[in-house]
Amino acid sequence: MQAFVEIAVLGKTYDTPRGPAEIVRDFSLYVERGEFVCLLGHSGCGKSTVLSILMGLNQPTTGGVVIGGREIDGPGTDRGVVFQSATLLPWLSVADNVRLALDQVARGDGAATVESYLDAVGLTGLGGRRPRELSAGMQQRVGIARAFALEPRLLLLDEPFSLLDALTRMELQDELMALWERTRRTVIMVTHDVDEALLLADRIVLMTSGPAATIGQILPVEFPRPRRRETLLGQPDYFWLRDAVLGFLEAQPVHG
């Protein structure tokens, strides 16, 4: 059976004053429809470079990406994106920021539809506010709602909770997990947080530190779903898997 996302021998090299700098080399990964995959590695190892290529914001030097049988060559509404910060348009209301996504896929004519996405991320009744009137966590909730409103074939998350405090981060992880359980979107997420990856992912893709990074190991996360953080620690393999991830990371050289 053909994978839904096919990333084949992906490589990226930048020209610098000191000569070519190879960031990613021979990165190949196949993701099934509805799978939740986390990319994990040290800072600067190329995780976000891979994700930016999947977004269509960066062109690979070698290899390519096929999503649902179509090779990507630029951004598209088939991919929803959530960045570290919410990247909302400050002059629009919360509802209008989400409605922008609905307009892109020709379904943006009903306030009730917008409200359903805001309800799903805990922002019921806040559609009339401006982004500046919301906390950072609430703004990121709007970003998640906007990404899901596209009903994308692939959802790309670039450390979406890394700038939030610990409690808010856990709340948004739970809300993302609940949304994913309902929609079963295909997700590729970049994270530095081992426990976050163990909570959310079906597979953890561990990247080497380079200088030209690639996939060092792929670990399946086979804990039963739906998952709840309060019961995850009781899973027989939880600490073994956590130690395996940490052991891999500790064995990688840290550059810079």
Same domain, 233 and 169: yes
Residue 113 shares a structural domain with residue 197? no
pLDDT band at 35 (very low <50, low <70, confident <90, very high): very high
Boundary of a domain, candidates 151, 172, 202: 151
Q: What is the pLDDT of residue 79?
A: 93
Mark residue 132 as left, alpha or beta (left: phi above 0; alpha: psi -120 to 50; beta: remaining): alpha
Q: Does 186 reside within a domain?
A: yes
Give residue-wise pLDDT tens across range 112-165: 588 888 998 989 999 999 999 999 999 999 999 999 988 899 999 999 998 899
CA distance 9 to 19: 22
The percent of residues above 90 in pLDDT, for the chain, comes to 66
pLDDT digits (tens, 9 = 90+) for 242-255: 999 999 999 987 76
Q: Are residues 68 and 96 in the same domain?
A: no
Residue 210 reports pLDDT greater than 80: no
Same domain, 183 and 239: yes
Average pLDDT score, the chain:
90
Same domain, 126 and 169: no
Residue 127 lies in a domain: yes
Question: Are 144 and 158 in a shared domain?
Answer: no
Residue 161 and residue 121 share a domain? no
Same domain flag for 169 and 115: no
Long-range contacts of 157-160 (CB under 8 A, 24+ apart): 157/81, 157/82, 157/187, 157/188, 157/189, 157/190, 157/191, 158/48, 158/51, 158/81, 158/82, 158/83, 158/84, 158/189, 158/190, 159/48, 159/84, 159/190, 159/191, 159/192, 160/82, 160/83, 160/84, 160/189
pLDDT of 6 strictly over 50: yes
Classify 241 as helix, strand or coil.
Answer: helix
- Residue 143 located in a structural domain: yes
The structural domain count of the chain equals: 2
What tokens does 109 get? 């004519």
Residue appearing with tokens 């992906």? 10
> What is the C-alpha to C-alpha distance for residues 167 and 185, in angstroms, rounded to an integer?
25
Tens digit of each residue's pLDDT (9 = 90 or more) over 214-250: 999 999 999 999 998 888 888 889 999 999 999 999 9
**In terms of domains, do 162 and 45 share one?**
yes
pTM metric for this prediction: 0.93
Which residue is associated with the tokens 């703004």?
Answer: 139
Q: Which of 135, 151, 167 is the last residue of a domain?
A: 151
For residue 10, the SS3 value is: strand
**Averaging pLDDT over each range in 47-51, 132-136, 201-205, which range is the top one?**
201-205
Do the domain assignments include residue 83? no
Establish if 85 belongs to a structural domain. no
CA distance 187 to 49: 16
Q: Which two tokens stand for residue 78?
A: 């088939």
**Domain of 205: which CATH number?**
3.40.50.300
173 with 247, same domain: the answer is yes
Task: Give the pLDDT of residue 109.
Answer: 52
Distances (CA, A) of 229 to 47, 101, 116, 125: 25, 31, 26, 28
- Does residue 129 form part of some domain? yes
C-alpha to C-alpha distance for 44 and 28, rounded to whole angstroms: 19
In a domain, 94, yes or no: yes
Tokens linked to 249:
């990371």
Residue 56 or residue 109, greater confidence: 56
CB burial string 90-111: b at 16+ within 10 A, e below: eeebbbbbbbbbbeeeeebeee
Residues 44 and 146 in one domain: no
Higher confidence at residue 204 or residue 179? 204
Q: Among residues 151, 186, 203, which one ends one of the domains?
A: 151
Range of the domain at 197: 5-78+152-251
Asked whether residue 84 is domain-assigned, the answer is no
Do residue 142 and residue 24 come from a single domain? Answer: no
CB 197 within 8 A of CB 38: yes
pLDDT confidence of 53, banded at 50, 70, 90?
very high
